[in-house]
Amino acid sequence: MTALNIALLAIEVLVYFGAMLALFRLRKVLGLGVFFCALGSLHFMETYLAAAYYIQMPLGISLSPGSVVLFSGKLALLLLVYIREDALVARQPIYGLFLGNLLLIALVALLRQHHAVPAPGTPADLSFMDQLGALMVWSTFLLFMDCIAMILLYEQLSRRLKRVPVLAIWLTLAVVLSFDQLGFFSVLHLAMGVPFSAGLGGWLGKMLAAGVYALLLTYYLAHWEMAATTPTRRISDVFDVLTYRQRYERLEEVSRRDALTNVLHRGQLEPLGRDLLAVSNTTGRPMSLLLVDVDDFKDVNDVHGHQTGDEVLRRLAACLTEGLRQGDYVVRYGGDEFAVFAPGVAHPAALQLAAMLRELVAEMELPSGVVRQTLSIGVATAPQDGEALTDLLDAADKRLYAAKAAGRNRATGATEA
């Protein structure tokens, strides 16, 4: 029986985490909202299982799949969101869950005022919501504290364990899950009489789950995401990102977009660049600039006409935008030239980003008869290439011409120029 339980737990981990990683991978197509909705939809089931559903494991211990599979996996997925996006994005589902749980309790209080008619064979009883609703609010409050602690701890460990990222992720999850188990099980024991053996079994299960999820997360980042482009952050940057994000959003709201490509207009280059560099200087984070030129684009206009050329530019701009993070910016710099601002991205990672953009453009669908498009890209990064926008533009422009002189269809950075 215990062997069957172990096998089923393994299958549940692979099904749950595999499906959620697939949704995260498709976030550029479906949007992060789909990923977050799927994550939140399991919160009620996760809390219910953690409170009421336990299975027998070896050595006489018992544990809940709600804690070991669903909650541990959710924490690992939120860490993934922070690694690939930023702190603001990672906190959105936590706020949503917390406010949703408060709304649930308020609605249950209103529902109690009805004169309910029981369904055949089923009592009209909401008493189970008393304990479960309070547990959901408490678990979400714990989740908020877990995520702040997880971000702070991961930033420390990831710098010290650069060569073994799986260990940094496992240690982060193990420490935070231990804290959460203590906080959540204490309430379960006091409110519902769950025995200490279940608490110990749950903790052991979470430690094992942390290792499994760390392995899966590391494999996913290495093979399906450009882990090298992850921003380098300081501890204080967890809060700096949230502070300066509003500045980005205000800038985005007032910015004008290029009528043809729908990316930012050339007139936004200087104010945007100065603002991002000011944030970079304040927070100590790097900021990379990529100057992108479409190789031999004149041939498209000459052979197929300007209407087809405009369509190619529209598709190319969309391709560049979809290949970037939410906090990156694309500006139409000239006729067939684009500037990409990548806040928080160091120089080696910016070269990786340039390579990815070249691959995406090479694979994009084009109007009939148009040959595959290639890019030449010059990469510069603050502060090493300068702390002023003119310095970055000058360095990136020289490297762009070096890429063209070297045969085009390539990206050139500081080491290659």
Q: Residue 239 and residue 66: Cα distance in Å, rounded?
A: 31
Per-position DSSP letters for 195-256, written without gaps between them: -HHHHHHHHHHHHHHHHHHHHHHHHHHHHHS-GGGPPP--STHHHHHHHHHHHHHHHHHHPP
* Res 42: pLDDT: 86
Query: Which pair of tokens denotes residue 269?
Result: 């280059």
pTM above 0.85, yes or no: no
**What are the phi and psi torsion angles at 250 (to 5°)?**
-65, -40
Query: Which pair of tokens denotes residue 66?
Result: 């709600």
C-alpha 173 chain-centroid distance:
17
Q: Confidence band (pLDDT; 50, 70, 90) for 308? A: very high
Q: Which of 179-188, 196-205, 223-232 has the lowest mean pLDDT?
A: 223-232
Which tens digit of pLDDT belongs to each residue from 191-227? Answer: 666 666 667 777 888 899 999 999 999 998 888 775 4
Domain with CATH 3.30.70.270 in the chain: 237-412
* Res 129: pLDDT: 67
SS3 384: coil
The mean pLDDT value for 56-73 works out to 84
Q: Which residue has the higher pLDDT, 77 or 125?
A: 77
SS3 342: strand
C-alpha 30 chain-centroid distance:
14
In the CATH hierarchy, which fold is given to the domain comprising 237-412? Alpha-Beta Plaits (3.30.70)
What percent of the chain is modeled with pLDDT above 90? 38
Distances (CA, A) of 23 to 100, 222, 223, 315, 347: 22, 17, 16, 24, 29
The mean pLDDT value for 54-61 works out to 79
- Given a cut of 80, whether residue 298 has pLDDT beyond it is yes
Which tens digit of pLDDT belongs to each residue from 259-278? Answer: 898 899 888 899 999 999 98
Beta strand residue intervals within 1-152, DSSP E:
55-56, 62-63
Residue 332's beta-bridge partner residues? Answer: 338
- Given a cut of 50, whether residue 229 has pLDDT beyond it is no
* Res 123: pLDDT: 66
* Res 248: pLDDT: 52
| Residue type, position 173, single letter | L
SS3 338: strand
Q: Residue 76 and residue 99: Cα distance in Å, rounded?
A: 22
